[in-house]
């Protein structure tokens, strides 16, 4: 069995892939989950080429069965869970009068409901890790939109505010047992998700990097068990609150 193991969702690109690489560097055996199988297996291969122990499980995380399959596959391969990274997310903009129910449901299901299901399915594994080492860590990728709602990204903003609230509740419920949760709340990060902003005139060089986010998660792994970091806000100079 691996000495330390992690699940990373939305690990096929962007922020999730950067966090997975950092976890590999820190010695974690990995399970990666994301929707499109080819893209995910390419990402997994790139991490294996760096020498990391990687299982990839293609899964549409809007489905409860898919969440359960990811956790079951992880348990069978790695047998333990020290870090859970709930990072998969989707953002679809629309004016309020034109919100399509299918897109509303997709954002609620992937951005918020899947996180609830992952906690439920993983809590016993996380408890076991916390009992062994005094701590286990969950990272939930929220957004700056979860701290202040964005016009035309209203549903996305609401789901991310939900992630912030859920993270706070989990810290009240689980942190006394050593299971710490942190909500990451970034402004624009240079990933495929912000291609729309790049097309709209925000240069990639003006954005936060995926390495910035991954390094913040490395910090979460390094602090002592009695240090809980509940939330990290990443602003861009000029945008600050
Ligand atoms: N980029 C930003 O500026 C920014 C800012 C704040 C927060 N975030 C959040 O950061 C997280 C990662 O996004 P990113 O910027 O790194 O974008 P990204 O590169 O597009 O990554 C999104 C990841 O989520 C996966 N995903 C999407 N829908 C899924 C589904 N139904 N089932 C399973 N996996 C699914 C994607 O897999 P597929 O490609 O196969 O669908 C991909 O691996 C998201 O939660 C996003 O909301 C991003």
Bridge partners (DSSP) listed for residue 140: 86, 183
List, in order, residues 6 or more apart from 45 with CB less than 8 Å away. Answer: none
Instruction: Give residue-wise pLDDT tens across range 202-223.
Output: 999 999 999 999 999 999 999 9
- Among 7, 9, 11, 14, say which to mutate for ligand 1: greatest number of ligand atoms within 8 Å of CB: 14
pTM of the model: 0.98
Is the CB of residue 160 less than 8 Å from the CB of residue 233? no
Residue 119 annotated among the catalytic residues of the structure: no
Instruction: Give residue-wise pLDDT tens across range 6-23.
Output: 999 999 999 999 999 999
Q: Which atom of ligand 1 is nearest to the CA of 197?
A: 3
Instruction: Give residue-wise pLDDT tens across range 19-62.
Output: 999 999 999 999 999 999 999 999 999 999 999 999 999 999 99
Res. 241: pLDDT tops 80: no
The strand pair at 136-141 and 29-34 is best described as unpaired
Q: What is the dihedral sign for C-alpha 13, 194, 144, 153?
A: negative
Count Cα neighbours of 240 within 13 Å in the Cβ-side half-sphere. Answer: 2
Rounded to the nearest angstrom, the distance between the alpha carbon of 201 and the centre of ligand 1 is: 21
Mean pLDDT of 57-73: 98
Give the residues surrounding ligand 1 with Cβ less than 6 Å away. Answer: 10-16, 34-36, 39, 59-62, 87-91, 110, 141, 143, 186, 188-189, 191-194
Is the CB of residue 204 less than 8 Å from the CB of residue 161? no
d(CA 123, CA 30): 17
Instruction: Give residue-wise pLDDT tens across range 183-197.
Output: 999 999 999 999 999
Q: Which atom of ligand 1 is nearest to the CA of 61?
A: 32
List, in order, residues 6 or more apart from 150 with CB less than 8 Å away. Answer: 156, 157
Q: Which atom of ligand 1 is nearest to the CA of 160?
A: 47
Rounded to the nearest angstrom, the distance between the alpha carbon of 91 and the centre of ligand 1 is: 8
Rounded to the nearest angstrom, the distance between the alpha carbon of 88 and the centre of ligand 1 is: 5
Active-site annotation holder among 118, 119, 156, 166 = 156
d(CA 217, CA 225): 15
Smallest CA-to-CA distance from 228 within 186, 143, 190, 171 is with: 171
Break the chain into its structural domains and give their ranges.
5-230
Beta-strand runs (E) in 109-211: 136-141, 179-186
d(CA 182, CA 208): 19
Specify the residue with its C-alpha closest to ligand 1, atom 47: 89
- The pLDDT, as a whole number, for residue 1 is 80
Instruction: Give residue-wise pLDDT tens across range 81-133.
Output: 999 999 999 999 999 999 999 999 999 999 999 999 999 999 999 999 999 99
Q: Which fold has domain 5-230?
A: Rossmann fold (3.40.50)
């Amino acid at each position: 069995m691996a000495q330390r193991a992690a699940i990373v969702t939305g690990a096929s690109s962007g922020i999730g892939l950067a966090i997975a690489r950092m976890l590999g560097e820190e010695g974690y055996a990995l399970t990666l989950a994301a929707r499109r199988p080819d893209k995910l297996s390419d990402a997994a291969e790139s991490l294996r080429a760096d020498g990391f122990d990687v299982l990839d499980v293609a899964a549409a995380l809007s489905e409860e069965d898919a969440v359960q399959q990811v956790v079951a596959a992880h348990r069978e391969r790695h047998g333990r869970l020290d870090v859970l990274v709930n990072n998969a997310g989707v953002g679809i903009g629309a004016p309020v009068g034109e919100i399509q129910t299918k897109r509303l449901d997709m954002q609620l299901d992937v951005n918020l409901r899947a996180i609830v299901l992952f906690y439920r399915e993983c809590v016993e594994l996380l408890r076991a890790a916390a009992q062994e080492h005094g701590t286990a860590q969950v990272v939930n990728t929220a957004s700056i939109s979860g701290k202040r709602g964005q016009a035309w990204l209203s549903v996305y903003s609401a789901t991310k505010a939900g992630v912030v609230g859920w993270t706070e509740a989990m810290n009240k419920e689980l942190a006394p047992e050593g299971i710490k949760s942190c909500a990451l709340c970034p402004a624009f990060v240079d990933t495929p998700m912000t291609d729309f902003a790049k097309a709209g005139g925000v240069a990639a060089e003006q954005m936060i990097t995926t390495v910035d986010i991954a390094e913040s998660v490395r910090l979460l792994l390094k602090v002592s068990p009695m240090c809980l970091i509940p939330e990290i806000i990443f602003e861009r100079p000029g945008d600050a609150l």
